[in-house]
Amino acid sequence: MHLISFNVFRTLSFPDTHYVKPEHFLRHKEELRRADWVLFPEYWQLNALVHGLNCRVFPSVASYRIGHDKVEMTRAFQTVAPTHTPWTLIESNGPREREMIWDTMPLPFVAKRPKASMGEGVWLIQSRSDWQRYCQAADVLYVQEYLPIDRDIRVVVVGEQVVTAYWRHQADQGFYNNVARGGHIDTSPVPEAAEQLALQLAQDLDVNHAGFDIAMVGGHPYVLEFNRLFGNQGLGKGNELQQAILGYLTAHCAPEDPDGPADPQPPWPVAV
């Protein structure tokens, strides 16, 4: 199995793997065409690799496209798991839309910037002034109901398996559970319902490398978002993630026969 990686840090010690700088990919077109898999390209490379060079990329195209924007992600969640998606309003940033959301969504509520990660670009709206500051900074209005939680669950999925799942407790200043914003990790067992929701979403949306953030409210799991490129703070010191990725790539290495299997012989005589 011949692999080309555009992210050396996520593929360290992968066997038979050649690293190429993303900005130099056009110098390696023939090698890319021959590779069994192309690993962790940048988002801006995706169309050129998939549609121009017919490369098989990992993570999946869906992982990139759905995971690139919270608006697209939430609409996908609403499609396949509406009862597990927090109440969300998405509107253009105009005066009427601002007033409609303010009049509709009970305080407090959460407002987000659609292309932020690691807890950046997230506001807890508790007053009209909070809302005005968010509206001045936002291109698109994206707000969700506030869930009464002090922790959430990160479920790391690769292919068809959960690699790890752990709690993320709220930061000392409150609100944020992200480790990058001061949240801390707790490896106590997580509810099976959280893992099953993450696996079901990954299967339904063809997402094969993601850290899903799941909130538990009264025993009911809600999906907040997923990150295609998740942090490794909760993964421990082993090589479980590498083994899961390599196992998935090996199992899905052979391309499907476009013509399908040969037609079976009919169980009855054929007239000639």
- Pair 220, 191 in one domain: yes
| Residue where one domain finishes, among candidates 107, 122, 145 | 145
**CA atoms of 24 and 28, how far apart (whole Å):** 7
Residue with tokens 């509107």: 91
**CA atoms of 126 and 228, how far apart (whole Å):** 30
The two structure tokens encoding residue 266: 């009919």
- Pair 116, 199 in one domain: no
Please give the pLDDT value at position 271. 44
DSSP result, 109-159 = EEEE-TT--TTTTEEEE-SHHHHHHHHHH-SEEEEEEPP--SEEEEEEEET
Beta bridge partners of 124: 110
Look up the CATH number of the domain holding residue 243.
Answer: 3.30.470.20
Please give the pLDDT value at position 171. 60
Helix pair 95-104, 128-137: axis angle to 10 deg:
140
- By C-alpha distance, which of 143, 165, 163 is closest to 221? 165
Q: What is the dihedral of CA 240, 40, 211, 179, to 10 degrees?
A: 90
156 Cβ contact partners less than 8 Å away, ≥ 6 residues apart: 162, 163, 164, 165, 210, 211, 212, 230, 234, 235, 241
- Pair 112, 26 in one domain: no
**CA atoms of 72 and 77, how far apart (whole Å):** 9
Number of domains in the chain: 3
Kindly state whether residue 271 falls inside one of the protein's structural domains.
no
**CA atoms of 104 and 29, how far apart (whole Å):** 52
Kindly state whether residue 231 falls inside one of the protein's structural domains.
yes
Residues in the chain predicted with pLDDT less than 70, given as ranges, are 116-120, 171-183, 234, 236-238, 254-272
**CA atoms of 167 and 211, how far apart (whole Å):** 12
Segment (H or E) for 95: helix 95-104
Please give the pLDDT value at position 118. 55
The two structure tokens encoding residue 142: 């994206």
Structural domain that includes position 231: 151-251
- Pair 158, 246 in one domain: yes
- Pair 133, 165 in one domain: no
Tell me whether residue 109 is exposed, middle or buried, using C-beta atoms within 10 angstroms of its C-beta: 0 to 12, 13 to 18, 19 or more: buried
Contact in structure between 249 and 5 (CB atoms under 8 Å): no
Look up the CATH number of the domain holding residue 105.
Answer: 3.30.1490.20
Kindly state whether residue 116 falls inside one of the protein's structural domains.
yes
- Pair 114, 47 in one domain: no
Kindly state whether residue 267 falls inside one of the protein's structural domains.
no
Kindly state whether residue 240 falls inside one of the protein's structural domains.
yes
- Pair 137, 190 in one domain: no
- Pair 133, 169 in one domain: no
Q: What is the pLDDT of residues 93-150, one digit of tens each?
A: 999 999 999 999 999 999 998 876 655 688 999 999 999 999 999 999 999 999 999 8
What is the three-state SS of 47-93? HHHHHHCCCCEECCHHHHHHHCCHHHHHHHHHHHCHHHCCCEEEEEC
